Amino acid sequence: MEFRSLSVILLLTVLIHSGQTARPKATVTIHPANPVFIGETVTLTCHIGSRHHWQYDWFKNSKPLSEAQWRKEYTISNVAASHRGAYTCKGRQSTQPRYSETSDAVTLTVPGKPTPTVRVDPQSSVYTGDTVTLTCEVESTGWEFLWYKDPLQPQSPVGKETNTVRVTVSHAGTTEFKCEARRKNYFYDGSYQHYDGYDYDYSNNRYVYYYDYNTQTSAPAVITVTARPKATVTIHPASPVFIGETVTLTCHIGSGHHWQYDWVKDSKPLSEAQQSKEYTISNVAASHRGVYTCNGTQSTQPRYSETSDAVTLTVSEKPKPELTSSHKGAALIGNPVVLYCKLDQSAGWRFYWSKHTQSPENETKPETHSYTISSVSVSDGGQYWCRAGRGTPVYYTHYSDALWINVTGTTRSDSLTVSPSRAQHFSAGSLSLSCEGQSDSTGWRVRRYTHSEKVSNCSSGLGSVTGSTCNISSLSTSHTGVYWCESESGESSNPVNITVTNGAVILDSPVHPVTEGDPLTLRCLYRDPKPSNLTAEFYKDGSLLQTQTTGEMTIRTVSKSDEGLYHCKHPEKGESPQSWISVRGSDSKTVILAVSVVLSLVLILIIILGLFWCYKKKKGDQQNTNQTPDQSQSPGSTQLQTDSGPEPGDLTYAEIDLKDKKKPKKTQDKLLEDDSAGGSGDLTYAQVKTKKKKSRGKATPSTEVTYSQIAMKSLKQDSKDSGPEPGDVIYAQIDLKEKKKPKKTQNKLRGGKSREEADTVYSELKN
């Protein structure tokens, strides 16, 4: 037992002193790393150490690999499935140690060419401006990556050597992303002719060549991007706003989300408006001028909105409107006058009108920028103002400067002549406006007023002038306005409204007012080509009146109720502009009134004559019973002087003498001489002029005049009785005169006195 132990110790001692060490063991590496894909180039290297010159033996599946003998590196240029297997190697040399230990086996895996996949994070809803992470996943390592986006163009958002990219989506819609992986396949002996590049192998002090091996392209990863809601800012009332006004800025992002709002003014957070959708400034000052934006945030997707475009809040001084009139100079009684309150500011204003005094309590509130007096009278004259207001509570502008409206009774029967004679015209057409119809056309000219200009005349670019006629050869919408004739002395004709349109339809309506009782025909006219279907609808004040297949409608007898705004509409061509049709009173009313007055006076006269005739007859009968026959014709008796029949111009008197028999005759004679005295002896004439209609229905003055005179005189000047006394004389005169009046009839007036000698008061009533 002791001998054996001693033997082992001696053996170990010999071995230690002899210098023997552990035998080196080979190892096999694969480049690129496993797995290696079909078509790649792979290099297997046998590592034993660098202090010995080894020769290498290769084994595949435990069988010698003759094509790889003696080589440290075994390169397969075009890997195929047949190269799969377990590889080992070992080394041998002529010196000690004579051989190495065999390496552990490494398995070469050869799958098919790989196809990477793309993973998208996040997978939830994506909005413009969001950042999305894309990851390209492929087997094994050592790859670099190429990214493709629609259309398939190489993309490299963050570099080619990473499989992860971050993309900020900027456009709504659907976008596809694809990826592809590649890696270098090295070879050392140069036997592979095609190569993409070379690197220097510092560990072996040599150049190594490579070509790129690409995987398949991945299936597309589809990203659906929803447009991120964008905030918008509105200002109410619209900018500019005015010092002292109340203004509200509202941030609109849309419905369906619970937003919190952030406001920014001039790029600085507006702390007093944070979290609120509306920012209201109750008393605007100059300091509130600036640029405003807003955006929204919330806890759900989308977590924020896009910032609104900037809006500028302009703060101006309180405005003052300009008040103008459609009429220059004195307005004629019966003519229309339109006042315009011009405010060159933003919308939303209502207009208020004052007359004689700036009194809010007495303001007229049509709430439009124009105020129309359809038929001006003397009472319409005076001083006018206007102002505008908007908002709640109402913010008012300054009052305009005062505008005086002077009204004159001087009228002209003549008016502006328009050819073609209608209120509406097509653009590019021609128009003639003439003042030649005035009784004295010298010094008259055509004038106009439009909303875009002040008063101008024909020579101011309107058209060409020939005498008192203005010719416009090519109409445009800028010619729309009010036109009239005006003399050098300031007299004006009745104004007319002219409308010029670029549309395809106009209404043929009269340019001047229509007389009550006359017929009125309206037509729909068309720009070429004329439609084959002429059916048209006619409207008054926005309501349908008639539908006519002929394209025209007729009102047989016009009345004041027919006055209003008219237009027509064609189912294919469209509708015309609106035009106002005015209706003026008929002269026949004046005739009826005059006849009624005359008949009433005649009836009263007949009744009075009848009553007094009965009275005188009864008294005469009583006198006949008490008198001798020669007393019946005394100077105090009743006389009725008449000719055989009244002629035109004759005067017919009916004299009733209720005087006492004992009255001196001279007192009766004095009765007719005392016309100029006051009291009950005054004479009053009521004169009514009547007019006859022409064949066309227009009235013309008649030369006939009817007077009705009732005169009551008392012979007793100091009498207090109101009733007639005996001796009072009542005259009822009806004068049907013509231009030629029989002289002898005139001389009969009042006991031979002529009309010129009698002082008489006339009260004249004119239509």
DSSP conformational letter for 744? H
The residues, any chain, with a CB within 8 Å of residue 470's CB and separated by 6 or more, are 432, 433, 434, 445, 446, 458, 462, 463, 464
724 and 599 together in one domain: yes
Q: How many CB atoms lie within 10 A of CB 513?
A: 22
The residue behind tokens 């270098």 is 184
56 and 30 together in one domain: yes
604 and 741 together in one domain: yes
Q: Is residue 437 part of a domain?
A: no
671 and 748 together in one domain: yes
> Where residue 342 sits, what CATH number does that domain have?
2.60.40.10
Q: Is residue 506 part of a domain?
A: no
Range of the domain at 383: 322-408
List the one residue out of 241, 245, 318, 238 whose CA is nearest residue 283: 245
Domain boundary among 193, 225, 257: 225
Q: What is the pLDDT of residue 308?
A: 95
The residue behind tokens 């006394």 is 725
Radius of gyration of the chain (CA): 59
How far apart CA 455 and CA 470 sit, in angstroms, is 15
Domain boundary among 200, 225, 250: 225
Q: Is residue 527 part of a domain?
A: no
Cα angle 6-23-26, degrees, rounded to a multiple of 5: 160
pTM reported for the whole predicted model: 0.41
184 and 204 together in one domain: yes
Q: Is residue 472 part of a domain?
A: no
173 and 57 together in one domain: no
Whether 212 and 201 have beta carbons less than 8 Å apart is answered as: no
607 and 744 together in one domain: yes
pLDDT digits (tens, 9 = 90+) for 720-736: 444 444 333 333 333 33
Pull the structure tokens for residue 506: 């106009």
**Which string of DSSP letters, residue by residue, matches 644-661?**
SSPPTT-EE---EEE--T
681 and 599 together in one domain: yes
Q: What is the pLDDT of residue 267?
A: 92
Q: Is residue 536 part of a domain?
A: no
Question: Residue 625: enclosing H or E segment and its boundaries?
Answer: helix 588-626
Q: How many CB atoms lie within 10 A of CB 471?
A: 17
214 and 249 together in one domain: no
Q: Is residue 331 part of a domain?
A: yes
How far apart CA 420 and CA 666 sit, in angstroms, is 72
462 φ, ψ to 5°?
-80, -45
List the one residue out of 303, 380, 299, 298 whose CA is nearest residue 336: 380
Query: Would you say how long the chain is, in residues?
Result: 767
Counted domains in the chain = 5
270 and 187 together in one domain: no
Q: Is residue 173 part of a domain?
A: yes
How far apart CA 398 and CA 402 sit, in angstroms, is 12
Q: What is the pLDDT of residue 496?
A: 85
Cβ-based burial of 12 (10 A; exposed 0-12, middle 13-18, buried ≥19) = exposed
Q: What is the pLDDT of residue 753?
A: 39
Which residues of the chain register pLDDT less than 50?
1-3, 8, 12, 14-18, 158, 413, 627-767
Q: Is residue 438 part of a domain?
A: no
Cα angle 477-480-482, degrees, rounded to a multiple of 5: 170
303 and 257 together in one domain: yes
572 φ, ψ to 5°?
-110, -40
pLDDT digits (tens, 9 = 90+) for 61-102: 999 998 888 888 898 888 999 999 999 999 998 888 889 999
166 and 196 together in one domain: yes
Q: What is the pLDDT of residue 77?
A: 85
Domain boundary among 189, 206, 225: 225
List the one residue out of 521, 497, 527, 508 whose CA is nearest residue 567: 508
pLDDT digits (tens, 9 = 90+) for 114-169: 999 999 988 767 888 888 999 999 988 888 898 888 766 666 554 566 788 888 88
Integer CA distances (angstroms), 495 to 375, 388, 409, 458, 611, in order: 12, 27, 16, 15, 56
How far apart CA 411 and CA 408 sit, in angstroms, is 8
Alpha helices in 120-180 (DSSP H): none
